[in-house]
Amino acid sequence: MKKKIVLLLGVLLLIVPLTACNLTSNQGRSITAVGSSALQPLVEAVAEEYTHGHKGNFINVQGGGTGTGLSQIQEGAVDIGNSDLYAEQKKGIAANKLRDHKVAVVGITPVINKSLKVDNLSTKQLIAIFTGQVTNWNQVGGPNQPIVVINRAQGSGTRVTFERWGLKGRGALQAQEQDSTGMVRQIVASTPGAISYMAFAYVDDSIKTIAVDQVKPTNKNVEQGKWQIWAYEHMYTRGTPTGLTKDFISYMLSDDVQKRVVGKLGYIPISNMQVHRTLQDELKVPTK
């Protein structure tokens, strides 16, 4: 009897470490992706889908803006830095130490309070509003209503893209600044006369988009080069990714996710673009 008990205990002692080792190898993998709020909804959705199909993995997705994403990945504080900009566009970022993974294109549109009877602005009018030269909607064919400009915060890739392509390189006036696109949407929806800008993916029925130079902000117009205010969405890593980081980025870039998820959430697969931009195109106007 004693020999049987000793033998049984020996078997159990062998099984327990093997089981623990097996749990460690198949569970507990986790990574963190931080940065662009414009890209955040897509990364969150794909992360949820990935982890649902790959039990034991965890992908923590946070916003904070492009500047945060690039600085955090450069410091090695996170596994992925999400950005609306090329790393070369951000001062203080050693782009040569980072690996760029372009995962989608995002359109960015001016948005206004729904009560405003304005459907189109010329580029000249848009610039005048965001630089403070025009302060009332009646100056651009709208009602007698003061214009309330809501900006994204400094360091926001969405802001840099909007200023570069929507305002033709002009800097927006000092106004309310918000880190969160969701908060921008909430303020525009609840503030008479408000105007701001955001990624197509954040637009809902609580606010209103407007055309620029009679061109509507649609994915099709972005793809064909008619709508100029757009950006590549980047997921940066420190060097070549490995482990879960590599697997997740590969999943994001897979044909299935690009065709099935990217467009559904308001983004554009890069393969759909009929026009492209180089880093040199983006660097023609200095960014902050």
- pLDDT, tens digit (0-9, with 9 covering 90-100), for 131-190: 999 999 999 999 999 999 999 988 789 999 999 999 999 999 988 898 888 999 999 999
Buried b (16+ CB within 10 A) or exposed e, 166-185: bbeeeebeeeeebbbbeebb
Q: What pLDDT, on a 0 to 100 scale, did the predictor assign at position 238?
A: 97
Indicate the CATH number of 8-105+233-277 among 3.30.70.2190, 3.40.50.1220, 3.40.190.10, 3.30.360.10.
Answer: 3.40.190.10
Token digits for 131?
């630089």
| Coil/strand/helix, residue 105 | strand
Fold of 107-223: D-Maltodextrin-Binding Protein; domain 2 (3.40.190)
What kind and span of H or E run contains 103? Answer: strand 98-113
Domains 8-105+233-277 and 107-223 share a fold: yes
CA-based nearest residue to 37, from 189, 187, 183, 190: 183
Q: What pLDDT, on a 0 to 100 scale, did the predictor assign at position 23?
A: 32
For residue 106, the cross-strand partners are 231
Q: What pLDDT, on a 0 to 100 scale, did the predictor assign at position 180?
A: 85
Alpha-carbon 205 to chain mean position: 20
Token digits for 135?
């302060």
Cβ neighbours, 10 Å, residue 272: 18
Q: Where are the domains of the chain?
A: 8-105+233-277, 107-223
Task: Enter the pTM of the model.
Answer: 0.84
State how far the Cα of 100 lies from the Cα of 3, in Å rounded to an integer: 62
- Tell me: pLDDT of 24 over 70: no
Q: What pLDDT, on a 0 to 100 scale, did the predictor assign at position 28?
A: 62
Tell me the CA end-to-end span of the chain in Å, nearest whole number.
78
- Tell me: pLDDT of 11 over 80: no
Residue 32: phi, psi to the nearest 5? -125, 130
Token digits for 48?
């949820």
Number of H helices, E strands in the chain: 10, 11
For residue 130, the cross-strand partners are none
